[in-house]
Amino acid sequence: MTLSKISLPPSESGQRLIAWATLGISIFVLAALYALTPYASGYGANLVTVLHFAGTLWSADNGDWQHCYLVPFAVGAMVYFKRKELHLAEIQASWTGLGVVVFGLFIYWLGFRADNIYLGYASFQILSGGLLLWLCGWTWTRHLFFAWGFLVFLYPVPFLDNMVAFPLRMVMSEASVGVLNLFGMEAIKVGTAILSAPDQLSGLKTGARFSVDVADPCSGIRSLFALMMVAALYGYFTQPGTWRKIVMFLCAAPLAVLGNLARIIMLTFGTIAMGSEVAIGTLDDPSFLHMLSGFLVFIVALTGLIGIGKLLNADWPRVFSNLKTLTKSSSRPGPAQAASNKSPNSHDEY
């Protein structure tokens, strides 16, 4: 074969080939750093890899972080959703990304030296974003920015249990007492427990009718992170514009509180009707109704998400215009009403 017969790929195709090859090498390096190299001890005595530590919490029996398993599939769906834009986008490497990669490697080294597994999380997030920017450029990074940011839901952070769970317990117990009193079920709050108020006329003491304690699992911490992930995903696929997506994400926390409030009220009424053993059970052995009530949190929250999404997408100028027209037409007297408003002595002039 002579040199003149050798056909070289076009410049753009060659760049794409080099970029994909480099990306494959980068994925191999990431796997070596985070899946094969013992990094930190976490909460144990021996060094484990970042992936091993995260995977242990993903598969824990309490189910707090099982939603993390869905993150790779969600990110894959986002990349597929952007496939047309990515195909048309120019691949142009950015040296800024190399600086981000170097910084990510420094954070990785710092976490290794400090025996801090959470710095390993941070380094992975920084490295993955830096590699995307370095190899593919700003256009690809802009298209995949949300997918890259969604990776934060991969990381279980159990230390937040102590920081978030107790304040949530206080909020839930306070809100539950307020709702029960609104319904005429007199209740008081003692710490994080919800107790029926004493009734001197009936001789009932405090907590005689019902007594429900908002424990850590019932604080809403289990559903909070999962609903934040679902809200971000739902907003990404259903809402046009960045601000609508942000609103959907910010609604996750109050909707999680609302859903958990409905659950606690349900269990309180169940305790009144069937007793604590049937309605709640114990912390180690919750009853069937207690387990079933967990679905109520997601039903309420997802219904709220769908409703908020419809409100954000509504054509409000048209709604207000129709409402204004309807108000005018309803206030304008009809023929029968106009005839009845005439005085008896009035007559039509021709």
Q: What is the pTM of this model?
A: 0.76
Amino acid at 138: W
Beta-bridged to residue 188, according to DSSP, are 195
DSSP labels for 8-54? PPPHHHHHHHHHHHHHHHHHHHHHIIIIIS--B-TTSSS-B-HHHHH
Q: How far is CA 204 from the centre of its chain?
A: 43
DSSP symbols for 184-209: T--EEEETTEEEEPPBTTTTBPTTSS
Q: Please say whether the beta carbons of 222 and 60 come within 8 A.
A: no
- Strand spans (E) along the chain: 187-190, 193-196, 211-213
Residue-wise pLDDT tens for the chain (350 aa)? 444 444 444 455 666 676 677 767 888 889 999 999 999 998 888 899 999 999 999 988 767 788 899 999 999 999 999 999 988 888 888 899 999 999 999 999 999 999 999 999 999 999 999 999 988 889 999 999 999 999 999 999 888 777 777 788 888 888 888 888 888 888 888 888 888 888 777 777 887 787 887 776 665 667 788 888 989 999 888 888 888 888 988 998 888 888 888 888 888 888 888 877 777 777 667 777 777 777 888 888 889 999 998 888 877 677 667 677 777 666 665 555 555 555 555 444 43
Q: What confidence score (pLDDT) does residue 218 get? A: 61
CB distance 214 to 192 below 8 Å = yes
